[in-house]
Chains A and B, each alone.
Chain A
Amino acid sequence: MTTPPEVMMHLSEAAVSVELETAEMTLNIGPQHPSTHGVLRLVAKVDGERVSEVEPVIGYMHRGYEKLTEVRTYPQITALVNRIDWVSGFANEIPFMVAAERLMGVEAPPRAQYIRLILTEMARISSHLIFASSYPLEIGAATPLMHALRERERILDLLESVTGGRFHPNFNRIGGVKPAAGAGATTKKVSQDLPAGFLDETKVAMERVVSVCDDLDGLVSGNEIFQARTKGVGVIPVDIAKSYGVSGPNLRASGVAFDIRKVDDYLPYDRFDFDVAVGENGDCWDRYQVRLEEIRQAARIITQAIDDIPSGDLQAKVPRIIKVPQGQTYVRAENPKGEMGYFVVSEGGRIPYRVKIRTASFSNLSILQWILKGILIPDIIAILGSLDFVLGDVDR
């Protein structure tokens, strides 16, 4: 299928390595390193510039989420889980909410579902803009960082105006989203749930986001050096992706047109018209292009959702103290990084018995040992960046 990496040595290198006896050096990349997206340690055996083997060491950010969920009530867990993948905070809450609601037999009202969808897509744009800014930086181009992050600031401001938090929204509630801000026991619930002007400003922000994608296309995608650094590098074949559980844009870049938004019904995506971005070869270039295209599609979804948003309640009627009946369910969502799912085991009561958190970056990162064999050191950085993982997602 693909040339084994060990065979791809340049002919001149092969000649030299026969004459010169060189020793292997063990190089520690991380845990503190500008390019490892957090505290990831790679113990690399290198021979000059060529890596023979890499052993990833993770767990520096293990916070014990699954143990914590065994001592927190469901609403308390909501506050915790958006910190798993902190770049796309809102999207982490959704599968857990839907799982708890499913076990309770409750469904969020339509307006709440639309708001959840809009905010999830905004989280997707925010996460992909971080990727679009930091990936060229790791390849060496420093300027796209500023342009992409400038647009991301717009999105974060909008998120903050609705939820109160840029990165950790805590906006979901069992049965819907948080009711009108500022409404309490003593104030009259007068204001609309979403801040005034939010929907219009979001539309403007979406246009700006699409235009920055075009800017990035011109600045980065058209650059021959960028293409030379990313095309053909770090190819993930489909059978390896299936075997290791690689999901999200990494999987779609390899040519598999699988998007959980199209197959599962955790949010009303079937009402909107959007394309699934698919790549061809599964190299770093394709992963970059797939994510840029996903930003455009997310903007498209948001614009449609804003035009279509129904009015109504923001939260279904649920008891004040949430007790989830006995049952087990697995709900998954298409997070920006890939597939995120929660397997919730409830034994009745206010606290779950066990929550297994399936995170995208954990599975995406497990291919490292396979994919980083026999490549050059700069390619390690290129591949790590293109997998777009976050250590909080890997380590939980």
Chain B
Amino acid sequence: MTDSPSETTSPPADAASSADDTAELAAAVAAAVGGTVAQAEFGTAKVAVERGNWSAAITAARDEAGLDFFNWLSAIDWTKETTLGEGVAEPDAVEERFEVLCMLSTLTDSRKVIFSVDLAKDDASLPSLTPLFGGAEWHERETAEMFGIDFAGHPNPVKLYLPSEFEGHPLLKSFPLLSREVKPWPGKVDVEDMPSTENPEAPPAEAAAENDDGASE
């Protein structure tokens, strides 16, 4: 933290030491679980794990590295092209895959590590972590419905957030945000006429503003 009150910006005084801590943590955990250090900057330790080693690695993290607090589990959809927002910085350098992330931390100090495993898109399945952590149940259900990843051995693989008739996996980069583009307007459904006005026939114009970059700030 800065000392003099009138300074405006300066990098954190102990950034160097905390960066070292992160690097140390990442290296130690990677060694304990049999993975490799994927990142140790910005205060975030990320350990990459092989797909076949997923359950064993998480078990080792919990039992040997002391990371017994299940924080969250989710995924990233890496694609070369995207229909909305901005995509990856270098599309050619990116490999199309799912990266499943599981973060574990401790309740004794500030250690937290993200474990990542890469899955091919056409074979997106992973063993479920529910035998190890009860909380994985809901997180895996959400990841499964948002990305289409299959978690083998999950006790209750039904959709968590979305209605059961929902088609598609929303968080994929290929899933457009304009819902009416995917499904047409269902028409007059259960709607009574107002006493003296008419119902509009045309669907409301969906704001195409999501794709516009708003003015800054």
A contact set with B: CB distance below 8 Å: 58-59, 62, 64, 66-67, 70-73, 75-76, 102-103, 105-107, 109-111, 173, 175, 240, 242-245, 251, 256, 258, 260, 263-265, 268, 270-271, 310-313, 316-317, 320-322, 326-332, 339, 341, 343, 345, 347-351, 353-354, 356, 358, 362-363, 366-367, 370, 395
Contacts and interface: CB of A to CB of B under 8 A. Distances in A.
Contacts of A316: 8-9
A76 B214 CA distance: 8
Interface string B41-60: 11110100000000000000
B32 interface: no
Across the A-B interface, the 7 shortest Cβ-Cβ residue pairs: A310-B5, A59-B161, A329-B42, A244-B135, A263-B110, A62-B161, A316-B9
B216 interface: yes
A316 B217 CA distance: 15
B115 to A, nearest CB: 12
Which range holds the interface residue count of chain B? 35 or more
A245 B177 contact: no
9 contacts: A72-B214, A107-B10, A263-B110, A264-B110, A316-B8, A343-B101, A351-B86, A363-B138, A366-B139
A349 B89 contact: yes
A62 B5 CA distance: 42
Interface in B94-142: 101, 103, 107-110, 112, 114, 133-135, 137-139
Given A240-B134, A244-B134, A349-B86, A105 B11 contact: yes
Interface stretch (B23-31, B63-71, B188-196): B63-71
Contacts, number: 174
Nearest to A344: B42
Contact of B85 (A322, A327, A351, A358): A351
A265 B18 CA distance: 10
Contacts of B103: 330, 343, 358
Interface in B1-43: 1-2, 5-12, 18, 39, 41-43
A67 B83 CA distance: 12
Nearest to A395: B161
B161 A58 contact: yes
A328 B42 contact: yes
Nearest to B111: A263
A339 to B, nearest CB: 7
Given A109-B9, A263-B109, A265-B1, A244 B70 contact: yes
A330 B133 contact: no
A293 B24 CA distance: 36
Given A256-B107, A258-B107, A362 B114 contact: no
A331 to B, nearest CB: 7
A329 B45 CA distance: 9
Nearest to A345: B76
Given A110-B1, A242-B107, 5 more contacts: A173-B217, A329-B44, A353-B85, A354-B77, A358-B72
A102 B43 contact: yes
B204 to A, nearest CB: 18
Contacts of A103: 42
Interface centre among A64, A70, A313, A326, by most B CB within 10 Å? A70
B171 A75 contact: no
Interface centre among B162, B171, B210, B217, by most A CB within 10 Å? B217
Contacts of B137: 366
A264 B110 CA distance: 6
Interface centre among A59, A105, A256, A268, by most B CB within 10 Å? A59
A350 B212 CA distance: 12
Given A312-B8, A317-B8, A363-B72, A243 B135 contact: yes
B84 A70 contact: yes
A349 B177 CA distance: 20
A256 B69 CA distance: 12
B174 interface: no
B72 A356 contact: yes
B141 to A, nearest CB: 10
A105 B10 CA distance: 9
Given A102-B43, A322-B216, A350-B86, A110 B109 contact: no
Contacts of B114: 330, 343
Nearest to B42: A329
B70 A75 contact: no
A73 B216 contact: yes
Contacts of B5: 110-111, 310-312
Contact of B138 (A71, A332, A350, A366): A366
Interface string B147-191: 000000000000111110000001101010100000000000000
B71 to A, nearest CB: 6
Given A75-B216, A347-B88, A243 B10 contact: no
Given A343-B101, A366-B134, A70 B161 contact: no
Interface centre among A67, A105, A313, A330, by most B CB within 10 Å? A330
Contacts of A109: 2, 7-9
Contacts of A367: 134-135
A73 B210 CA distance: 10
B213 interface: yes
B42 A348 contact: no
B142 to A, nearest CB: 8
Contacts of B11: 105, 107
Contact of B177 (A67, A268, A310): A67
B157 to A, nearest CB: 14
B151 to A, nearest CB: 15
Contacts of A73: 213-214, 216
